[in-house]
Copies of this chain bind each other. A is one copy, B any other.
Amino acid sequence: MRSDAAGNRERILESARRILTTSSDVKLNAVAKAAGVGQGTLYRHFPTRDALLNEVYRADAEGLAESARALLLTDDAESALRAWVKHVAEYARVKQGVLAALSPTSGQQLASQHGGTIDQAVDLFLEAGKREGTIRSDVDAREVVTLLGFLSRVDPAEPVERVHHILDLIVDGLRATA
């Protein structure tokens, strides 16, 4: 790839990221304009809308997976999972756009497309928790990820504490029954 092409690609992603922070309604022409490139250039790099969104999402997904590993080093599985889902919620709040703008179907595909970055991260918590005996053995990562999908429909005006409480309810449901 030529260096000007690589630069354009980067600037397109940057603009998309910035716009997605404020709204989930991404106008592709607006992204192109903000990036200072022609519409055709945007389509050359990202043939479909989802291709662009997926790319924006990928970096974030990797960041979240990374934080999962970090949390597990310093805490037991259940507490680490509790902390992590709040991290995810904060991400979803700031980047409302990314989750909401993804078509539901495409949201499902994400996991497999990206080698299941997020799924794998969740799996770390579940595996650890099952070993510790704190997480029930009949849950898998996809179920938890699906459940977290509710975040894409949370009103940003919703107080953080309420969202956190909902997340606690979820984690409580995942606990092994004594």
Contacts and interface: CB of A to CB of B under 8 A. Distances in A.
Interface of A: 24, 100, 104-105, 107-108, 138-139, 142-143, 146-150, 152-155, 158, 162, 165-166, 169-174, 177
Contacts of A152: 104, 149, 153
Contact of A153 (B149, B154, B171): B149
A148 B158 CA distance: 16
Q: Most chain-B CB neighbours within 10 Å: which of A104, A139, A143, A155?
A: A104
A169 B150 contact: no
Contacts of A166: 143, 146-147
25 contacts: A24-B104, A100-B104, A104-B153, A107-B153, A138-B165, A139-B169, A143-B166, A146-B150, A146-B153, A146-B154, A146-B158, A146-B166, A148-B150, A149-B149, A149-B154, A152-B153, A153-B153, A169-B170, A169-B173, A169-B174, A172-B172, A172-B173, A172-B177, A173-B173, A173-B174
Count of identical protomers in the assembly: 2
A169 B146 contact: no
A176 B89 CA distance: 25
A20 to B, nearest CB: 14
Contacts of A104: 24, 100, 152-155
Contacts of A100: 104
A96 to B, nearest CB: 8
A119 to B, nearest CB: 14
Contacts of A143: 162, 165-166, 169
A48 to B, nearest CB: 15
Contacts of A172: 172-173, 177
A106 B5 CA distance: 40
